[in-house]
A and B are shown apart, each in its own frame.
Chain A
Amino acid sequence: MDEMTSTMAQTAAAPDPDDEAERAGIEIRDLYKIFGPDAKRHIAAVKAGMSKDDLNRKHRHVLGLQNINLTMPGGKITVIMGLSGSGKSTLIRHINGLIEPTVGEVLYDGADVCRMSPAELRRFRRLKTAMVFQRFALLPHRTVLENVRYGLDIQGIAHAKSEPMAKHWIERVGLKGFARHYPAQLSGGMQQRVGLARALANDADILLMDEAFSALDPLIRMDMQAILLELQEELHKTIVFITHDLDEALRLGDKIAILRDGALEQVGTGQDIVLGPANDYVASFVRDVNRGRVIRAATIARARKPGEVLPEMTVQGYLVLEKVARRMTNAGATSAHVVGRSGKTLGVIDLPELLGAIVTPVTADSDS
């Protein structure tokens, strides 16, 4: 325990800037989950194509997840999106072993989480994962400080060491001065900040967020999303974020997986999904999306015409159209020069096309 304690303290005191490259991703392979007393027996039938309804009607077993193959890249935010009952909460609980799959593998850093012994699993949860819950799941009898310290207490870290770490994260989530309050004395948004600080204090590579912001009202939810993105900018954790809200998914997700009835419908970047929905179900989801916040300048930049002089104004290719439009109107420009991260010219963007891309579905030929 002592050895573990000292390594924990070191990483917390001086975050390694090269961490980003080393973060391992999570890989889910051929995962099926059937709920019921005799789940294993029905796996073959489900693999052969038995539907969720049939399984329920004929065998009284509930199909939770089927044929899940998903890679969650290290250091990125992967959003799993689906409506209630789609199996998203079940899926996230496989990653830290709160639920065991009927068959399948959850690989992290070369180890299969599903095959870990109880002791290994405890160690994995203590050191590698942290979780944020929809209804906060704070300990009502403990102060904010004691709640944030919780994961560290479990690891057996002395209070002398854990208290400064906890205080650091309380400040980072904007709760300075509330360390001695009890959760019941805080608003919902503040309580979830405590939940976030508790997860971050663990200094785990993986952050699991189960509908973490769904219980908050819209303005506070936007705040929390901003806080998360800001923290992620510097922490580069492997975040798995569950939501039923497409706007949230698009705002946060480096990668989005859409889940329906326990099966993955589509996996890709937000832009992939909005511009090329894989089927009618996904299409119906993305129909009302604010495209200006999803589509990036690089996507709609047209090639420079022969002999055309590059516009004076420069915009980065990763910017979303809404931001580009705002900058262009502020600058009074009608066209702008789109550049990549390295400064390479990607093309030119004109205001009329830009507006067209925001308001109407982008056609296949302008999508390159």
Chain B
Amino acid sequence: MATTCWGLPEVICTFPAIDTTTMREMRRTIDTGFRGLVREWSDVIDATTAPLQSFLNMLERSFVGAPWVVVLAVLLVVVWAASRNWKTVLGAALAMLAIGWVGLWADTMVTLAMVTVCTIFAVALGLPVGIVTARSDRVQSVVNPVLDVMQTLPSFVYLIPVVVIFGIGKVPGMIAVVIYAVPPMIRLTNLGIRLVDPEVTEAADAFGSSRTQKLVNVQLPLALPTIMTGVNQTIMMSLAMVVVASMVGVGGLGRNVLQAINNQFFTIGFLNGFALVAIAIIFDRTSQAFGKRLQKHREAGHG
């Protein structure tokens, strides 16, 4: 080795890594320590996640258990209420009927239930964090790198501790999805509030608004288009994560895709994949149309 080293000393040539014994010791200590800790607290963890688990189960049962006509009707009403656009409603109806026709209705319902819960959680978590981040540069300097890690860390990596802590099932799946889906919500809420016209916030101050009044009357409404983009992104990312989440025991379309990968079931893979795409498009068009509808007042034209 020394011969290929341009005559440099060993320490510069080969990277001075920790030797394997130390590494093995370190690994063992951390892993067993972590497992021990989890085992010790397992009762508490189970108790805290139990309500969530049963909520997820209940929601899934109600989605799967309800007659498909009812679910479809509710879905279409929601799409109509949000988008007020017949084309979107028609597209959603056709997509859902096609999904049902190829026999993926029940799996789609499972996925839908999961994505619904994950989106609600991600928005409920991301909005307040985004608001706090927008209010303080110091908070932002802490939150931003955390978000960078959340978005770039391969989801399989953080699935390991999640599975160690929560085991296999819907709860760890949901946590994995929320970790992945919440950053755009936080980022875009933060961005949206920071981009609000400073003259308008100054006007709010000049009229003696309190911080809350300013937030509710000015900042949130004006940041709404950006925030709605965040919600939209969160939904899309939740959907993208359901395949990964299926590895820790979440059922639905994701699990079918996973099985298809393992068994090289070409047709099943594509059918399930397209079902996911169909849901994604329905959600995307609906949430975007909703966001646009909230901005009706921006339409110019002197009256």
- When distances are taken between beta carbons in the complex, the residues of chain B under 8 Å from A187 are 302
Once A140-B298, A153-B217 are accepted as A-B contacts, the answer to whether A185 and B207 lie under 8 Å apart by CB is: no
Q: What is the chain A residue whose CB lies nearest that of B298?
A: A184
- Cβ of B210 within 8 Å of any chain A Cβ, yes or no, is yes
B301 in the interface (beta carbon within 8 A) = yes
Which among B206, B213, B222 has the highest number of chain A CB atoms within 10 Å? B206
Considering only CB atoms, which chain A residue lies closest to B209 in the complex? A154
Residue of B nearest to A146 (CB): B217
A139 near B200 with CB under 8 A, answer yes
Specify the chain B residue showing the minimal Cβ separation from A187. B302
B202 an interface residue at 8 Å Cβ cutoff?
A: yes
Please provide the chain A residues from 27 to 83 with a CB less than 8 Å away from any CB of chain B in the complex. Answer: none
Of A96, A154, A178, the residue contacting B213 (CB under 8 A) is A154
A140 near B297 (CB under 8 angstroms)? Answer: yes
Is the CB of A260 closer than 8 A to any CB of chain B? no
Contact pick for B207, options A130, A135, A184, CB 8 Å = A130
Whether B217 contacts A185 by the Cβ 8 Å rule is: no
> Nearest Cβ distance between residue B81 and chain A, in whole angstroms?
20
Could you tell me if B297 and A154 are in contact, using CB atoms closer than 8 angstroms? no
CB distance from A190 to the nearest CB of B (A): 8
For residue A316, CB closer than 8 A to chain B, the reply is no
Provide the residues of chain A in CB contact with B224, threshold 8 Å.
141
- Given contacts A122-B210, A139-B221, is CB(A131)–CB(B297) below 8 Å? no
Count of chain A residues near B, Cβ 8 A: 36
Q: Is B208 an interface residue, CB under 8 A from the partner? A: yes
Q: Would you call A151 an interface residue if the criterion is a C-beta within 8 Å of the partner chain's C-beta atoms?
A: yes
A residues within 8 A CB of B205? 98, 125
Inter-subunit contact B207/A151 (CB<8 Å): yes
User: Among residues 197 to 223 in chain B, which have CB atoms less than 8 Å away from a CB atom of chain A?
Assistant: 197, 199-200, 202-203, 205-210, 213, 217-218, 221-222
Q: How many residues of B contact A (CB 8 A)?
A: 24
Chain A residues contacting B199 (CB-CB under 8 Å) are 133-135, 137
Tell me the smallest distance from the CB of A220 to a CB of chain B, in Å: 13
How far is B199's CA from A183's CA once the two chains are assembled, in angstroms? 15
As a 0/1 sequence over residues 128 to 151 of chain A, the CB contacts with chain B under 8 angstroms (1 = contact) are 011101110111111000000011
Residue of A with least CB distance to B201: A137
Residue in contact with B203 in the complex, picked from A137, A153, A155, CB distance below 8 Å: A137
B197 nearest in chain A by CB position? A137
Does residue B18 face the partner (Cβ distance < 8 Å to A)? no
Query: Is the C-beta of A108 less than 8 angstroms from some C-beta in chain B?
Result: no
Cβ of B303 under 8 Å from chain A: yes
Whole-angstrom distance between the alpha carbons of A131 and B302 in the complex? 25
> Is B207 a contact of A133 with CB atoms below 8 Å?
no
In Å, the complex CA distance between A140 and B300 comes to 11
Q: Which B residues lie within 8 Å of A135 (CB)?
A: 199
Q: How far is the CA of A159 from the CA of B298 in the complex (A)?
A: 24
- A131 near B203 with CB under 8 A, answer yes
A150 touches B217 (CB 8 A): yes
Render A168-189 as a binary contact track against B, CB cut-off 8 A, 1 for contact. Answer: 0000000000100111111100
B217 x A139 contact (CB < 8 A):
yes
Whole-angstrom distance between the Cβ of A148 and the nearest chain B Cβ: 11
Cβ A133 vs Cβ B202 within 8 A: yes
Query: In the complex, which residue of chain B has the Cβ closest to the Cβ of A153?
Result: B217
A156 and B134 alpha carbons, distance in the complex (Å): 26
Minimum CB–CB distance from A241 to chain B (whole Å) comes to 15
Q: Which of A126, A127, A181, A208 is in CB contact (< 8 Å) with B303?
A: A181
Tell me the bound Cα distance from A186 to B297 in angstroms: 11
**Residue contact A185 to B221, C-beta cutoff 8 Å:** no
- Choice from A125, A178, A184 contacting B299 with Cβ under 8 Å: A184
Q: Is the CB of B303 within 8 A of A186?
A: yes
What is A's interface to B at a CB cutoff of 8 Å? 96, 98, 121-127, 129-131, 133-135, 137-142, 150-151, 153-155, 178, 181-187, 202, 208
Nearest 4 pairs of A and B residues by beta carbon: A126-B208, A125-B208, A137-B203, A182-B297
Known: A131-B207, A139-B217. 10 other contacts (CB 8 A): A121-B208, A122-B209, A123-B208, A129-B206, A137-B200, A141-B221, A141-B224, A153-B217, A154-B213, A183-B297
